[in-house]
Structure 1
Amino acid sequence: MSANYERWLTREYGFSAFANGPLLDFWRSREEGEFTGVDDVPIRYVRFCSPSHNKVILVSTGRIESYVKYPELAYDLFHCGYDVMIVDHRGQGRSGRLLEDPHRGHVQNFDDYVTDLSTFYQLEIAPRQYAKRFALAHSMGGAILALWLAREPNNFDAAVLSAPMTGIYLRMPNWLTRKILNWAESRPVYRDGFALGTGSWRPLPFVVNRLTHSRERYRRNQRFYSDYPELRVGGPTYHWVRESIQAGMQILEEAKNITTPLLLLQASEDHVVDNRSHTAFCQAMAIAGHPCEGGKPRVIEGARHEILFERDAMRAQALDAIMRFFAQQN
């Protein structure tokens, strides 16, 4: 067992001291930047670099998230010998919003996310002489990365998808969902409004959250939104849901084109994405002759959707799998 793994296993016991000491010092070393994305939307990003590193990990985050939420992951990846770069997707975090109400999670075209990430790669990663280039993506960020890998499979030496949004967990029949979304699509007042059952951001107590079992990490993430109101994003618009469902279908169609070595981590207790879509995705890759690592999802038993923000035991298991997988790519 590595020293890193042992530290990951016991982090929560002294989480406050870690967050206000070593992690805060690390966060202060960040470099922040901005570039212009599709339709002139400003896209913000952060990077952590060292002259002693010759490998990089690009992190693609989930819906409503910002790199402000990711210091701990960046810290762990950086101290494993990697430069780390994290992009705030359009419409969230510190990047430009697309609607007058900043709480509405929205995108005009899902492919805009993909184009933005590709632009960032060409600006910040491609020009640097890294010996190895890797990507790590969570949830919506996993859907974005999967589409990008299908179109540009040679950019990375390997990639990891953590609970990727290859399909959304829906609480109503698919036919009814399609009917509602198609109805809203032709009515702008609904199209760009909050989807049914959602609304502006509001803090939820830990006991009702469906994202993680880690009280420490959940509370820390909630404090980010309390301290930085400009980061807050609420529910998605009807159009975002429609675009994202179509993106999931597109991912399954294009999975055959992904030749990048790929590991897919799945949370056994996920109620945000549809785990059945992970199986379909891995099967499509296998049929095309380039299966993902192990030929199927690597299940993190007991984990909720935010695997990389879970309790120490589950998070350490996931991080160890990621680091081992990247280390295999010689």
Structure 2
Amino acid sequence: MQQHKQSWLGREKGFSAFATGPLLDFWRQREEGEFTGVGNLKIRYARFTSPHHHRVILIVPGRIESYIKYPELAYDLFHCGYDVVIIDHRGQGRSDRLLPDSHRGHVAAFSHYVDDLETLYLKEIVGHHYQQRYVLAHSMGGAILALFLARQPQAFHAAVFCAPMFGIVLPLPPFLAHRILDWAEKLPVLRDGYAPGTGRWRAHPFGINRLTHSRERYRRNLRFYADDPAIRVGGPTFHWVREGIQAGRSIISQADKITTPVLLLQASEDDVVDNRSQDMFCTAMAAAGHPCEGTTPYVIQGARHEILFETDAMRAEALNAVVDFFERHVS
């Protein structure tokens, strides 16, 4: 494992050769599966397994993401001795969409994401009798995971939240945004329409991206969506934003139910999710008597929202923290 960890610090220099060589070979070994989620939607997922592994990490991606964005992370975790399972949430990736305009990021109820995750957990994690069960969630996936852990705090031996969406950065003052969302909720045409300032998916140049400082990783991720129109998702609907805000409130109020050992990674330059809500979550966890690792968020200095797609130094710091944390929680 230590030798593999060392490779994380110099990968960008030869990223193209890595991506078209070892990483591509690894990606071809994936198994893909599906199950029926709430409302009879097909929910798809990918997994990487080895008969020599007795530990598993479930990856819970963020909004608009697909498992096809995660081969590098899966590669690194797999070579640290873990099986890896990655879900495609309803309404995105290769899972079924909810609206005729497939670019609209939408969900009928945020709890449906949680229900889907629970179904996958029972099918792929519990069903395979792993000795250690871990979970790593990014952004929206962090909100889904937190609500799942409030239901089933004993499901995993440890959990990592990476820039979790416990609060959304809004372009308007909160009181005004909430009024608009409540008004739109009563009008179906608006309710299921794009939230203001958003629209269909389009490629943004690296220079104006808000997600990562890594040019290589940003370009690679952009190519996934450019090459496969079927996985593209654009802006969220009014209703999705409302559901997301309510989910964040619910997470803070239910933090006392989460007894799973938790590490929360925070990006210091995040302007996608509200870091203050992550601080509030850690405060609530500490007040309940089961604090996050280190009591407060582990801040990755200089990182933008997509910490695990950042430049080598920041990504390696975060990934080392993740793996080391899991290694300390084996029972």
Equivalences for residues 164-313 of structure 1 within 5 A: 164-313=164-313
Following TM superposition, the consecutive aligned residue runs of length 4 or more in structure 1 with deviations greater than 3 angstroms are none
Gaps of 5+ in 2: none
Name 2:115's counterpart in structure 1: 115
Q: How many residues align?
A: 330
Give me the whole-angstrom Cα distance separating, in 2, the residues matched to 1:204 and 1:226: 11
Most deviating of 182-191 and 1-10: 1-10
Give me the whole-angstrom Cα distance separating, in 2, the residues matched to 1:169 and 1:301: 19
Counterpart of 2:152, as a letter, is E
Give me the whole-angstrom Cα distance separating, in 1, the residues matched to 2:64 and 2:3: 33
For the residue of structure 2 that corresponds to 1:43, the secondary structure is strand
Counterpart of 2:74, as a letter, is A
For the residue of structure 1 that corresponds to 2:113, the secondary structure is helix
Give me the whole-angstrom Cα distance separating, in 1, the residues matched to 2:161 and 2:283: 15
Gaps of 5+ in 1: none
- Residue 316 of structure 1 and its aligned partner are, at CA, apart by 0.2
Counterpart of 2:29, as a letter, is S
Name 2:6's counterpart in structure 1: 6
Name 1:27's counterpart in structure 2: 27
Give me the whole-angstrom Cα distance separating, in 1, the residues matched to 2:261 and 2:48: 24
Counterpart of 1:303, as a letter, is A
Name 1:45's counterpart in structure 2: 45
Most deviating of 21-30 and 123-132: 123-132
Overall identity of the aligned pairs, in %: 68
For the residue of structure 2 that corresponds to 1:137, the secondary structure is strand
TM-score normalised by L of structure 2: 0.99
Give me the whole-angstrom Cα distance separating, in 2, the residues matched to 1:77 and 1:161: 16
- Residue 159 of structure 1 and its aligned partner are, at CA, apart by 0.3
Give me the whole-angstrom Cα distance separating, in 2, the residues matched to 1:84 and 1:138: 15
2:161 maps to 1:156: no
Give me the whole-angstrom Cα distance separating, in 2, the residues matched to 1:173 and 1:260: 34
For the residue of structure 2 that corresponds to 1:299, the secondary structure is strand
TM-score normalised by L of structure 1: 0.99
- Residue 2 of structure 1 and its aligned partner are, at CA, apart by 3.2
- Residue 127 of structure 1 and its aligned partner are, at CA, apart by 1.4
Equivalences for residues 28-107 of structure 1 within 5 A: 28-107=28-107
Q: Deviations over 1:156-207 (max 9, x none)?
A: 0000000000000112111000011011000000000000000000000000
Give me the whole-angstrom Cα distance separating, in 2, the residues matched to 1:25 and 1:122: 29
Counterpart of 2:247, as a letter, is A
Counterpart of 1:26, as a letter, is F
Q: Deviations over 1:294-318 (max 9, x none)?
A: 0010000000000000000000000
Name 1:320's counterpart in structure 2: 320
- Residue 248 of structure 1 and its aligned partner are, at CA, apart by 0.2
For the residue of structure 1 that corresponds to 2:210, the secondary structure is coil
For the residue of structure 2 that corresponds to 1:164, the secondary structure is coil
For the residue of structure 2 that corresponds to 1:282, the secondary structure is helix
- Residue 226 of structure 1 and its aligned partner are, at CA, apart by 1.0
- Residue 6 of structure 1 and its aligned partner are, at CA, apart by 1.9
Give me the whole-angstrom Cα distance separating, in 2, the residues matched to 1:64 and 1:265: 20
Counterpart of 1:117, as a letter, is L
Give me the whole-angstrom Cα distance separating, in 1, the residues matched to 2:111 and 2:127: 24
Give me the whole-angstrom Cα distance separating, in 1, the residues matched to 2:258 and 2:30: 32
